[in-house]
Amino acid sequence: MNPLSLVDLHLHSSASDGVLDPAALVAHAAGCGVRFMALTDHDTVAGLDQAAAAAKSLGVILVAGVELSADWRGRTLHVLGLAFDPLAAPLAGGLLQLQATRQERALQIAARLDAAGAPGNAAHALVRGAGRLPTRMHFARALVTLGAARDITTAFDRWLARGRPGYFAAKWPSLAEVTGWIVAAGGSAVIAHPMRYPLSGGARRELCAEFAAAGGRGIEVITGGGGIRNADQAISLAIRCGLEGSVGSDFHDPAIPWNPPGRLAKLPGSVRPVWSGPPFPEFETDAEPA
């Protein structure tokens, strides 16, 4: 049984592929007991101002956040930027590059879906109409709306996952490059959901070593839906690689009841919380005994 966590440093709003707008997301997280949070939309900080205003009125501590797409050895990884200056120039430039890559990738996904007999351009029109930075999640929802898939999982399995007809391998910037943007903006960089990537144990340790060498601070040890076994492995990985630990639900949608904000195990005492000390504001949490 996972106790509620006061801390949740991985949440999505409608600025990317979350369902709630930034203010509603902060209110929902606060209602779930979260007191210290980061809004981490995919490759955009567009929701941060609205989230900050809501957090202030609700007495929630909100730090700047983003989930950046990156390439490591030909795989796509996600790097969380936390507690950075959103106006810092290298990061702002990096975000523009990532946003252009996402828009171009959306065109490619639409064309590939059409070529495979799915309503790709119609889906793209729906995605564009929403006016948000496009993700595959938006395409999945559009394919469901258009009757080309029964549900989101089927849309990914049939059309959008790697190796499926609508997949397009975007050229994301390297892990070291995106990590450098976050560090230069005064933030902490964290590898999101490290056990979700299909890597061998050895490759995962090399990833962490390269990440630390590039200025990375931590890995997401406790992640929504990650399970105890993944958490245990991520704890060992953090200790072995000298990285700090983060906790985040990766919340997208209140209609998915098994992954609400803040339903996360506490970090064990053996891993230093990434949010203890600068650049994060002060916040006291008790660790679980190691």
| Residues in touch with ligand AMP (CB under 6 A) | 17, 42, 69, 135-137, 152-153, 156, 161, 252
Contact region with Mn ion (CB under 5 A), list: 48-56, 104-112, 114-122, 250-258: 250-258
Interacting positions 49-88 with Mn ion (CB under 5 A): 67, 78
Binds Mn ion (CB under 5 A): choice among 8, 71, 244, 250: 250
d(CA 288, CA 286): 7
To the nearest whole angstrom, how small is the minimum distance from the Cβ of residue 118 to ligand AMP?
Answer: 16
Site string for Mn ion, 190-229 (x = CB under 5 A): --x-------------------------------------
- Nearer CB in complex with ligand AMP: 161/209: 161
CB of 28 to ligand AMP, least distance (A): 17
**Among Mn ion, ligand AMP, none, partner that 231 touches (CB below 5 to 8 angstroms by kind):** none
Q: Which stretch binds Mn ion (CB under 5 A): 92-100, 213-221, 248-256, 269-277?
A: 248-256
Q: Which is nearer to Mn ion, 98 or 115 (CB)?
A: 98
Contact partner, 152, from Mn ion, ligand AMP, none, Cβ < 5-8 Å per class:
ligand AMP
Nearer to Mn ion, 109 or 284 (CB): 109
The residue with its CB nearest to ligand AMP is: 135
Work out whether 41 is an interface residue with Mn ion (CB under 5 A): no
